[in-house]
Chain A
């Protein structure tokens, strides 16, 4: 088939704006799936994705379509992850396409995430096809949303397609627009191979399966290939394209999208964003845009029961095969025992990993307070990268600490601007710009320390705006900040799992809050328990749990020793589930409750 009949495109949409439903309609319209294969939202493969209505991993599917004009077309729909944590994966997926369907909910209008992904698409020179979806909703404001879109991308009203992906209304127009507006891939057959890896996953039998877009040349079974970034070389075992299952082919040609299996056993061997070429007579340069993905957020993950440590290790080993962005290494905590320090792309990524560990791998875990990565400039001129608050050096040896900042884009109806600004100021936000997409949509730009938004900023934002405000952000570099390490001591012993790095101005409040919380959660023991918050050697907050005076049942029930014994055995069991810090027994729930956001 001619390269001119290939269309590679993706769909940009906010969560719940109907991306997966539209994908379903396209698959149906092009007869890609038989009725039996039709399942709601086929592209969201993981249970978790389906449940949350978001895409975590990139997917793609090929559609072969015979148009009424008699020509055969190949549509490659590349589905992108739908969250800011995965913006790098999004940008790579976008790079594999020539066009993007910009899908906006007729009732919700344009949201922050739509805008940021749209910018990525524009940066990648994608042709944008604006679509207003859910026009059959009673609350649809088609005219308002039309104006938002026209304002945003400067298009003509006539370019906007109205659909209801649910009923299938407008699908034909979308298909025509894909054919007529999105250009076919450029690239030449006779050039050295350049193919972009835009996602990878792990198959238990075949090893790493990379999703690639061939830009120049072609790739065939048996070819010797190499990867630019990892400098690894392999032999192509299998290439092909994807329906719902893999469909083998001998060759992937210029402009095509497909999968590649080459015997790589670890996802680290094949990195998203890297370029594949031939070992001999390969391309001189990789495709632009590759960068190594670095975790932005770290936290400790510990088994609830210490003896489950090896199980947790196995689970992480398996999980990382499917999630190359995940990083982990073992660490120990005096309070929680053996566990792992795990690096994530962002908070959602962290939540997803946590849920996958619990659900797919049946792990019972404690996740410690997440923290960002700090750059610590030492007095001796060294710069340390600190991923764990307990590793923070003593303050006398520190010259300055830098923390990561983000540029945040918040889109909100104007009536909530005041609320949004209030919570933003509380989190050390710096207002950079306010503009209006239309009279009902303000676009506010803020800069925040990342540490301030990883907690619960998103939830707060939603609650102060009745769910209307939306948020997107990108990394904006490191900046100096007055940060201190806040320790929690129990009878003088540091509770390392609760150490945090906080802004100096916030330390007192946070110290007090943590101490008060712990006082309520630590059961009375046979001696007084003193809870302190300290910065260095300076105690800034103190609470105490009075010694327990009485725990004895007066009576032995007329010879019924069994009953008494069972009560004691129950107490014993309860004690076993406590974590021992020095002599103090702290229930698991206390850690969980303290680590949970307010």
Chain B
């Protein structure tokens, strides 16, 4: 099998203010950004020799709020990656940005540096929702930043929306979706709020300030999302990810679902190269300390058993609209998918939760909503 093209993820752990629902690692001490960038450079240098023969075709700079970094900091990171890794020129290079942190100059700079995909964390187009979610930007910021980025030459823009959170109303959500559609981004990610422990939202929920939506209400929002976006020409290629054209599917994220290798840099970043998964230390302090001592900041490494690899392969692929390719499965695991699982899956096929098309086995749209339920039968 041809060595697949791998991905690089860089975690920028800084935010102006931490949103109440978010449990990604980030801090608001912006004066440690330089220290972080130095450590990141060391991590890239230390890691690179092991990947001398690996080709990469995606870079994803996420966070946190990567757009908080100034021009020279982003330049340092970009050049460091390109210096030490074999990056394909026809790659997908994404940077996440929060509305309010961009303007035409900064967008132009990012575009000129080489980023060709921008992911804008809009979350909602209503001020009251943005306040509830503790976002610091305004609706106007979203539109301004989007338009500035377009002008700056970003031809592939993603907009993140949040759905099914307490406080949200169906009318407002419909309106948010319609406003996104008006902007005509290439890609839309629409995530249901997940109440994560160790978040401010979780503590608010425990205090009884609000209660999360039940699964029926979440299903209503999800079905509404599919219906409206589908009507506007956006199809779901993954449970929460929509695009107008196949070529705008997020190539980097596809690597997660397709079990393709990726390396993560920065505190709490995750990496995968079959059969191994590992993750970095959680905090910036530990991250910097390790690298200052010339050590890789890996906190945990796990060698997956073939059984675990197979389970991951199945549940990740079934999140995709295309589903799981039986020939590819056979190549990976040297057994026939159909023979192995037919009996267990028959009820899902007969009840219309799963379907087959050519060499692909996939979940139906109704099945998607029950994906976790279905994959726990494997």
Interface residue ranges, A against B (CB under 8 Å)? 524, 526-527, 548-556, 558-562, 564-565, 567-569, 571-572, 574-575, 583
Quick check: B376 and A550 within 8 Å, CB to CB? no
List B residues 223-255 near A (Cβ within 8 Å).
239-240, 253
For B370, what are the chain A residues with a Cβ–Cβ distance below 8 Å? 526, 548-552
For A524, what are the chain B residues with a Cβ–Cβ distance below 8 Å? 215
Across the interface, A561 reaches (CB within 8 A) one of B191, B239, B312, B376, namely B312
Quick check: B372 and A568 within 8 Å, CB to CB? yes
Across the interface, B376 reaches (CB within 8 A) one of A527, A548, A562, A572, namely A572
- Bound complex: CA A555 to CA B253 (Å): 11
List B residues 1-31 near A (Cβ within 8 Å).
9, 11, 24
Quick check: A554 and B215 within 8 Å, CB to CB? no
For B312, what are the chain A residues with a Cβ–Cβ distance below 8 Å? 561, 565
Quick check: A568 and B256 within 8 Å, CB to CB? no
- Bound complex: CA A361 to CA B59 (Å): 60
Say whether, besides A550-B369, A552-B370, A561 and B219 are in contact (CB < 8 Å): no
- Bound complex: CA A550 to CA B215 (Å): 6
Best-surrounded residue of A558, A572, A575, A583 (most CB of chain B within 10 A) = A558
Say whether, besides A526-B351, A558-B270, A549 and B377 are in contact (CB < 8 Å): no
- Bound complex: CA A524 to CA B375 (Å): 16
Quick check: A559 and B371 within 8 Å, CB to CB? no
18 additional A-B pairs beyond A526-B348, A568-B376, beta carbons within 8 Å, are A526-B351, A526-B373, A549-B216, A552-B239, A552-B369, A552-B370, A553-B372, A554-B240, A555-B194, A556-B253, A559-B256, A560-B279, A561-B270, A561-B272, A565-B311, A567-B372, A575-B376, A575-B377
What is the CB-to-nearest-CB distance from A114 to chain B, in angstroms, rounded to a whole number? 54
Assess whether B262 is interfacial by the CB under 8 Å rule.
Answer: yes
For B198, what are the chain A residues with a Cβ–Cβ distance below 8 Å? none
What is the CB-to-nearest-CB distance from A343 to chain B, in angstroms, rounded to a whole number? 39
Assess whether B49 is interfacial by the CB under 8 Å rule.
Answer: no
26 A-B contact pairs sorted by A residue (CB < 8 Å): A526-B374, A548-B215, A549-B219, A550-B216, A550-B218, A550-B369, A551-B369, A554-B191, A555-B240, A556-B256, A558-B62, A559-B9, A559-B271, A559-B272, A561-B272, A561-B277, A561-B312, A561-B316, A562-B277, A565-B315, A568-B375, A568-B376, A569-B311, A571-B373, A571-B376, A575-B377
Best-surrounded residue of A524, A556, A559, A572 (most CB of chain B within 10 A) = A559
What is the CB-to-nearest-CB distance from B299 to chain A, in angstroms, rounded to a whole number? 12
Quick check: A559 and B308 within 8 Å, CB to CB? no
Assess whether B87 is interfacial by the CB under 8 Å rule.
Answer: no
Best-surrounded residue of A527, A549, A552, A567 (most CB of chain B within 10 A) = A552
For B218, what are the chain A residues with a Cβ–Cβ distance below 8 Å? 550
For A583, what are the chain B residues with a Cβ–Cβ distance below 8 Å? 347
Quick check: A556 and B24 within 8 Å, CB to CB? no
For B375, what are the chain A residues with a Cβ–Cβ distance below 8 Å? 568
Assess whether B78 is interfacial by the CB under 8 Å rule.
Answer: no
For B271, what are the chain A residues with a Cβ–Cβ distance below 8 Å? 559
- Bound complex: CA A477 to CA B377 (Å): 52
- Bound complex: CA A569 to CA B269 (Å): 22
Quick check: A565 and B194 within 8 Å, CB to CB? no
What is the CB-to-nearest-CB distance from A299 to chain B, in angstroms, rounded to a whole number? 33
Chain A residue with the shortest CB-CB distance to B163? A554
For B11, what are the chain A residues with a Cβ–Cβ distance below 8 Å? 558
For B240, what are the chain A residues with a Cβ–Cβ distance below 8 Å? 554-555
For B376, what are the chain A residues with a Cβ–Cβ distance below 8 Å? 568, 571-572, 574-575
For A564, what are the chain B residues with a Cβ–Cβ distance below 8 Å? 315
- Bound complex: CA A583 to CA B215 (Å): 22
Best-surrounded residue of B192, B239, B373 (most CB of chain A within 10 A) = B373
- Bound complex: CA A561 to CA B269 (Å): 11
For B308, what are the chain A residues with a Cβ–Cβ distance below 8 Å? 565
Quick check: B270 and A556 within 8 Å, CB to CB? no
What is the CB-to-nearest-CB distance from B32 to chain A, in angstroms, rounded to a whole number? 21
For A572, what are the chain B residues with a Cβ–Cβ distance below 8 Å? 376-378
For B222, what are the chain A residues with a Cβ–Cβ distance below 8 Å? 550
Assess whether B353 is interfacial by the CB under 8 Å rule.
Answer: yes
Best-surrounded residue of B9, B319, B348 (most CB of chain A within 10 A) = B319
What is the CB-to-nearest-CB distance from A525 to chain B, in angstroms, rounded to a whole number? 8
- Bound complex: CA A298 to CA B218 (Å): 47
What is the CB-to-nearest-CB distance from B199 to chain A, in angstroms, rounded to a whole number? 13
For B368, what are the chain A residues with a Cβ–Cβ distance below 8 Å? 552
Assess whether B264 is interfacial by the CB under 8 Å rule.
Answer: yes
- Bound complex: CA A550 to CA B347 (Å): 18
For A558, what are the chain B residues with a Cβ–Cβ distance below 8 Å? 9, 11, 24, 62, 270
Quick check: B347 and A551 within 8 Å, CB to CB? no
- Bound complex: CA A568 to CA B319 (Å): 13
Assess whether B302 is interfacial by the CB under 8 Å rule.
Answer: yes
Say whether, besides A526-B353, A558-B9, A558-B24, A548 and B373 are in contact (CB < 8 Å): yes
Across the interface, B270 reaches (CB within 8 A) one of A553, A562, A574, namely A562
The 9 A-B pairs with the shortest beta carbon distances in the complex, nearest first, are: A549-B219, A550-B219, A571-B376, A552-B371, A554-B192, A559-B270, A551-B373, A550-B369, A572-B376
For A574, what are the chain B residues with a Cβ–Cβ distance below 8 Å? 376
- Bound complex: CA A553 to CA B239 (Å): 9
Residues 182-213 of chain B, each 1 if its beta carbon lies under 8 Å from chain A, else 0: 00000000011010000000000000000000
Quick check: B219 and A554 within 8 Å, CB to CB? no
For B319, what are the chain A residues with a Cβ–Cβ distance below 8 Å? 556
Quick check: A549 and B270 within 8 Å, CB to CB? no
Quick check: B215 and A551 within 8 Å, CB to CB? yes
Quick check: B262 and A559 within 8 Å, CB to CB? yes
Chain A residue with the shortest CB-CB distance to B302? A562
For A555, what are the chain B residues with a Cβ–Cβ distance below 8 Å? 191, 194, 240
Chain B residue with the shortest CB-CB distance to A558? B62
Quick check: A554 and B194 within 8 Å, CB to CB? yes
List B residues 246-289 near A (Cβ within 8 Å).
253, 256-257, 262, 264, 269-272, 277, 279
What is the CB-to-nearest-CB distance from A574 to chain B, in angstroms, rounded to a whole number? 8
Quick check: A562 and B256 within 8 Å, CB to CB? no
- Bound complex: CA A568 to CA B272 (Å): 19
Best-surrounded residue of B218, B219, B239, B372 (most CB of chain A within 10 A) = B372
Quick check: B270 and A551 within 8 Å, CB to CB? no
For A571, what are the chain B residues with a Cβ–Cβ distance below 8 Å? 372-373, 376
- Bound complex: CA A551 to CA B11 (Å): 29
- Bound complex: CA A485 to CA B262 (Å): 62
- Bound complex: CA A572 to CA B372 (Å): 9
- Bound complex: CA A548 to CA B367 (Å): 11
List B residues 330-378 near A (Cβ within 8 Å).
347-348, 351, 353, 368-378
Across the interface, A554 reaches (CB within 8 A) one of B24, B239, B279, namely B239
Quick check: B315 and A568 within 8 Å, CB to CB? yes
- Bound complex: CA A482 to CA B44 (Å): 83
- Bound complex: CA A550 to CA B315 (Å): 16
Chain B residue with the shortest CB-CB distance to A574? B376
- Bound complex: CA A550 to CA B218 (Å): 7
For B264, what are the chain A residues with a Cβ–Cβ distance below 8 Å? 559
Residues 153-194 of chain B, each 1 if its beta carbon lies under 8 Å from chain A, else 0: 000000000000000000000000000000000000001101
